[in-house]
Amino acid sequence: MPTLIAGPSRVEAAGTKPKLIDEYVGNVNTREAGVSIAHMRSPGGWVEPGQTPTFEEYTVVLRGLLRVEYHEGVLEVRAGQAVQVAAGEWVRYSTPEAEGAEYLAVCLPAFTLDSARRDPE
Residue 51, in any domain of the structure:
yes
Residue 37, in any domain of the structure:
yes
Residue 30, in any domain of the structure:
yes
Domain at 73, CATH number: 2.60.120.10
Q: What is the pLDDT of residue 118?
A: 96
How many domains is the chain partitioned into structurally?
Answer: 1
CB 64 within 8 A of CB 100: yes
Q: What is the pLDDT of residue 23?
A: 98
Please state, for a pLDDT cut of 70, what percent of the chain lies above it: 100
Q: Which domain holds residue 37?
A: 16-116
The greatest distance separating any two alpha carbons of the chain, rounded to the nearest whole angstrom, comes to 45
Residue 68, in any domain of the structure:
yes
Residue 61, in any domain of the structure:
yes
Residue 4, in any domain of the structure:
no
Question: What's the predicted TM-score (pTM) here?
Answer: 0.94
Sequence-distant (6+) residues with CB within 8 A of 108 are: 34, 35, 55, 56, 57, 58
Low-confidence ranges of the chain (pLDDT < 70): none
Q: What is the pLDDT of residue 15?
A: 86
